[in-house]
Amino acid sequence: MIEPTRETTTDFPILKQRVNDEPLVYLDNAATAQKPTAVVAALTHFYEHDNANVHRGVHTLAERATSDYEAARQKAQRFIHAAEPAEVIFTKGTTDGLNLVASTYGEQHVQAGDEIVISIMEHHSNLIPWQQLALRKHATLKYIRLTADGELDMADARAKITPRTKIVAIAHASNVLGVINPLKELAHLAHQNGAILVGDGAQAAPHIAVDVQDLDCDFYALSGHKMMGPTGIGVLYGKRALLDATDPYQYGGEMIDFVHQQDSTWTQLPWKFEAGTQNIAGAIGLGAAIDYLTDYGMDRVAAHEQQLVDYLLPKLLALPGVTVFGPHDPAKHTGVIAFNLDGIHPHDVATALDMEGIAVRAGHHCAQPLMAYLHQVATARASFYLYNTLDDADRLLTAIQETKEFFNHGSGTAK
């Protein structure tokens, strides 16, 4: 058995509460993760002791704030193994980072007749920016299909990525299907054809060790709030040569070198892409989350979640009337498990589970083209993190069974 950890009982007080008179089981981690006390303390300390704007003052508070802000950048650099801090740009999150790439590099390099390749499993954040770029530029947007078990069809990827391709943008891990995509192989395919590889790391960076240099991706975006940091903060990694050659798309304070009446010049990386006052407290809080995950160990995070999936997935698949989307082999599945109960709308499933104190997500998960591909309107989704236990998995299984009985036979323990 996976015993309740010190993290569950000490570091995440939000998990101690009761919901609908039941102990909370939080299984909506793909949407956002809970914050350890160390992150909350870092935010409080900044606002109570060091609150000042960065890079703009020589007084003590400004120097302390700047030091902590840039220290967070160095932590993010080490966490994803970027070559240098200048390759780490602070953003609002994954969505902001992907839009930044589309609105800068994409605008500069995609022309009429070019091709952009994504997959049918993409989150809207890694779909709409490329869709709209293709529309603006009169380029072609192509989708890589899936295999029968929900993995990326690499044969189709090799057929879709051609010398006309300029950008390949793929989720490192799916927020619905629970698969990890082979970004390194895709980067090789893209580079062979003169294209770049953009990685959506929202669902991967919190759960597995990420080495952007080993993956050889050209850009990689992640969100702080999914890895136990604050909301409104994220990271965009870009190879220095690409960032140096890319013009900014937001202008104002911080990102300038000299401003004249008729023209301006831009400062050096990474600040060229960080116009205006940034989310300073958010960056410092993200640094605290990275410290927490580094201390915990990303290998340990991945192993813990794999134990949960190894335990839960076969039992879930064995339940009559339950459909699980994505691979049925636990070894190919992350801690994201999307499922439906026959004849019961996913929103009703989520509501019934909430009455048992279990928080899951229901809907299209910002992946409507994938839902159409799967012939589904929506799914329920349970997603696990380092503070979840086998008891959480057992309670989910019991509540699913009781939900089935309640809707199918008018019985059960739903409150």
Strand partners, 223: 234
Beta strands per DSSP E along 254-399: 256-259, 264-266, 322-325, 336-341, 358-359, 361-363, 379-383
Of the candidates 319, 366, 377, 414, the residue annotated as catalytic is 366
- Give the pLDDT of the chain (415 residues) as one tens digit per residue: 444 454 556 899 999 999 999 999 999 999 999 999 999 999 999 999 999 999 988 999 999 999 999 999 999 999 999 999 999 999 999 999 999 999 999 999 999 999 999 999 999 999 999 999 999 999 999 999 999 999 999 999 999 999 999 999 999 999 999 999 999 999 999 999 999 999 999 999 999 999 999 999 999 999 999 999 999 999 999 999 999 999 998 988 888 888 898 998 888 999 999 999 999 999 999 999 999 999 999 999 999 999 999 999 999 999 999 999 999 999 999 999 999 999 999 999 999 999 999 999 999 999 999 999 999 999 999 999 999 999 999 999 999 999 999 888 754 444 4
Do the bridges between strand 22-23 and strand 25-26 make them parallel or antiparallel, or are there none, so unpaired?
A: unpaired
Domains 6-31+298-409 and 40-295 equal at CATH topology level: no
Q: Which CATH superfamily does the domain covering 6-31+298-409 fall into?
A: Aspartate Aminotransferase, domain 1 (3.90.1150.10)
So what's the pLDDT on residue 373?
Answer: 96
- CA-CA distance, 43 to 230, in Å (whole number)? 9
366 catalytic, yes or no?
yes
Q: 40-295: what fold?
A: Aspartate Aminotransferase; domain 2 (3.40.640)
Domain ranges of the chain: 6-31+298-409, 40-295
Q: Which residue has the tokens 């890589």?
A: 144
Q: Tell which residue, 283, 233, 226, has the closest CA to residue 29.
A: 226
Give the CA count within 13 Å in the CB-facing half-sphere of 298.
16
